[in-house]
Homo-oligomer: A and B are copies of this chain.
Amino acid sequence: MKKVTYIEAITQALYEEMERDERVFLIGQDIGLYGGVFKATKGLMDRFGAERVIDSPISEVYIAGGSVGAALVGMRPVAEIQFADFITPSMDQIIQQMAKMRYRSGGAWTCPMTIRVCCGGEVGGGLYHSQINEQWFFSQPGLVVVMPSTPYDAKGLLKAAVRGEDPVIYFEHKRLYRSIKEEIPEDDFVVPVGKAAVRKEGKDITIVAYGLMCHKALEAVAMLEKDGISCELIDMRTLRPWDRETVFESVKKTSRAVLVQENSKTGGVMAEVSASITEDVFDYLDAPVSRVCGLDVPMLPFAPPMEHFFLPNAEKIVRAVRKVMEY
């Protein structure tokens, strides 16, 4: 076992999948010669050549749509969108082509491909280098959406995505790239898509989070533990299809839930989780399901006081948990 960062885990996954399967190729801006603006694809062009590590022009529509085409003829594209903020031009190809290819062809044509999307705040990126837009893809039948929070999951989910038969939007959080390290196996492994991870068992309350927010929640859990509040922390990992069972089982046990989401509150993923908990395990609830989310303003104002104010953090989660516990 070796300690690797989240971004190293991604690089390893790409490297190993390209070694394993020659159908796998990469396309994105600055991913070749430069090795990616965050260096996620460092060294891959040297190893696999410019035909399999393609420095694309500034054409997000093509990056997504061209990958769909390559998938149709038997390739396994892994495309990169440099910042989630710049995925908006790709929406047409992601929603109308990638997500619906299988459906509209009655299963004849399929789209086994992955789009890596670098996302998230707390890096001083301001309004146009901090966005996450997971909720759009979360609401689209036909897409798989994942967002790892650890190096292990980053590697295992990326491999699972590349090997799967479905189109995957893989959100990677830029704040996590180098801020966490973890020992991960040197042997090949995958993390199953569709399964949440219980990061900490507990009995008083369930906290559900994903991505960077898992780490904020972990901090909060430690603080709350000192007060004698035992939290169960669930990392969703896969957003679509999300692991309803794991969440429901936990809430049945704890009867309380706080949901944490980095993105703006209204219409986010946690609205669905909350609504589903209410629909499916209402009887078990001792208190309303509560959400801790980014502000309902454009994600993410630049000046440090506003950035901090926007984002959920351990203190906010602690306050929310306390309020729900006191209910």
Contacts and interface: CB of A to CB of B under 8 A. Distances in A.
Contacts of A138: 266-267
A287 B278 CA distance: 9
A264 interface: yes
A263 B136 CA distance: 13
Interface in A79-115: 85, 88-89, 91-92, 95-96, 99-100, 103-104
A20 B142 CA distance: 46
Interface in A203-250: 240
Contacts of A299: 141
A139 B266 contact: yes
A291 interface: yes
A296 B289 CA distance: 24
29 contacts: A85-B96, A88-B91, A88-B96, A95-B133, A100-B127, A103-B127, A103-B298, A104-B127, A104-B298, A135-B136, A138-B267, A139-B263, A139-B266, A139-B268, A141-B266, A141-B296, A240-B266, A266-B272, A267-B269, A267-B272, A270-B275, A272-B275, A274-B274, A274-B275, A274-B278, A275-B291, A278-B288, A279-B291, A280-B288
Contacts of A280: 288
A141 B274 contact: no
A138 B301 CA distance: 20
A128 interface: yes
Copy number in this complex?
2
A271 interface: yes
A123 interface: no
Contact of A88 (B95, B266, B268): B95
Interface in A269-307: 269-272, 274-276, 278-280, 282, 285, 287-291, 296-299, 301
Contacts of A276: 271
Contacts of A264: 139, 141
A88 B268 CA distance: 19
A301 B266 CA distance: 29
- Give the one of A85, A91, A240, A275 with max B CB within 10 A: A275
Nearest to A283: B288
A128 B95 CA distance: 11
Contacts of A263: 139
B298 A142 contact: yes
A139 B135 contact: yes
A96 B280 CA distance: 37
A99 to B, nearest CB: 7
Contacts of A100: 127, 298
A143 to B, nearest CB: 10
Contacts of A269: 267
Nearest to A95: B88
A61 B276 CA distance: 36
A279 B288 contact: yes
- Give the one of A85, A92, A296, A299 with max B CB within 10 A: A92
